[in-house]
Amino acid sequence: MAPQPVIAGFPPEAASRTHAARTAVWCATGVVFAVALDALGLSWTAFGLRVQWLEIAALGCLGAAATLPGALRDRRAWSTAIDGPVLAGVLVAAAQLIPGSGAEHAAFPLRQVLACAAIYYGLAAQLRRSAEAVERLWDVFAFAGVLASGHALFAVTSGLGALRASSLAADQGWGSNAGLFKSLVFLTVLFVGRALESRSSRGWNVLTLLATIAVVLLGVAAGTGLGSAALARLDDPLHFSSIVVLLLVLSGLLKGAWELRRARSEQASRWRGAGGAVLALGVIAVFGGASGGEPLRALGTLLAALLVAAPEAGATEDRPEGEGRAEPPVEPPVYGKAA
């Protein structure tokens, strides 16, 4: 029997969907581990260049997506609804390398942006093939929350001074300002949405409580990194442009979360939580000087891939064998485009 064709990047075989789910979870987990290793300052040098673990994880995500059946033959498997704002964000980050732009050490955030763009496209290409992958990605967020809150709660056992020193050390590796606090704020909002689901496990309640405690302790010990003083930087054209592009991306993701909330009423709470996390990213960007650094960029990238891929994920999964296979999946709602 001839193999069934790959339609719009969605192979109908269950084995392929399982493979996509497995690789997506491993890639997302690898991103979380990479962020943790960078926080510990465990980067290494190759050819005189400091290599971040996040960049290695980005290459792994792209490579894993490229090995999926039909991925290299189907351009639609890589396109997303927010390609324009993502490209604009990369260009704005690259513009900071122009001499006289006033941006110091601009190469470091540019490399983080490029790595996150690679993770976004690689992970989205995998997630859209399997609804199971979309579901399991929430466990990766939970894992990130356990690592972040556990680290903060363990450090505070030696006192608030130790917690502050730990937060500052992580900021050096991430190139952030209060990066641990901001990341936990983002994760806490996500966890609240999952904890409020009628069928959620109690583990989400416990995780929400631990993350909230860690957020409060970090805010007291190390500060929030937020304030109205960051608004003064909006006079800088490049900083203003980066904020505008980021808000364009976030507006598209927020609309995507809203559409998912309406389409999947049984999961409405989790998508409200996702929308709240997107709003938290916007507030942090405006009042935090876009200084969330590597952890917030990485976690935001994982959420962006989730929201973009979820409407398409497993479009042919629930159809009986042979039914509707000749039809391409229904096009997902296009959001994030300017009117």
Whether 6 is in a domain gets the answer no
Whether 158 is in a domain gets the answer yes
Backbone φ and ψ for 330, nearest 5 degrees, come out as -60, 135
Q: Per-residue confidence at 192, pLDDT binned at 50, 70, 90? A: very high
Check whether 312 has a pLDDT greater than 50: yes
In whole angstroms, give the CA distance from residue 305 to residue 248: 16
Confidence at residue 11, expressed as pLDDT on a 0 to 100 scale: 44
> Average pLDDT for residues 163-177, to the nearest whole number?
91
In whole angstroms, give the CA distance from residue 158 to residue 165: 11
Question: Whole-number mean pLDDT of the chain?
Answer: 83
Count the helix, strand and coil residues of the chain and give each as a percent rounded to the nearest 5: 70, 0, 30
Contact by Cβ (8 Å): 285, 109: no
Check whether 21 has a pLDDT greater than 70: yes
Nearest to 291 by CA among 336, 249, 246, 257: 246
Q: Which carries the bigger pLDDT value, residue 173 or residue 141?
A: 141
Q: How many percent of the chain have pLDDT more than 90?
A: 50
Judged by average pLDDT, the poorest of 219-223, 240-244, 290-294 is 290-294
pLDDT tens-digit series, residues 23-80: 899 999 999 999 999 998 877 776 667 788 999 999 999 999 888 877 777 777 788 8
Confidence at residue 97, expressed as pLDDT on a 0 to 100 scale: 74
Confidence at residue 79, expressed as pLDDT on a 0 to 100 scale: 87
pLDDT tens-digit series, residues 268-283: 999 999 999 999 999 9
Whether 65 is in a domain gets the answer yes
Whether 314 is in a domain gets the answer no
> Average pLDDT for residues 202-222, to the nearest whole number?
95
Q: Per-residue confidence at 258, pLDDT binned at 50, 70, 90? A: very high
> Domain residues for 251?
14-309
Confidence at residue 15, expressed as pLDDT on a 0 to 100 scale: 56
Check whether 318 has a pLDDT greater than 70: no
Whether 319 is in a domain gets the answer no
Confidence at residue 86, expressed as pLDDT on a 0 to 100 scale: 92
Confidence at residue 76, expressed as pLDDT on a 0 to 100 scale: 76
Whether 315 is in a domain gets the answer no
pLDDT tens-digit series, residues 95-130: 877 765 555 455 678 888 999 999 999 999 899 888
Fill in the DSSP letter of residue 319: S
Domain count, the chain: 1
Strands 44-46 and 49-51, bridge-based pairing: antiparallel
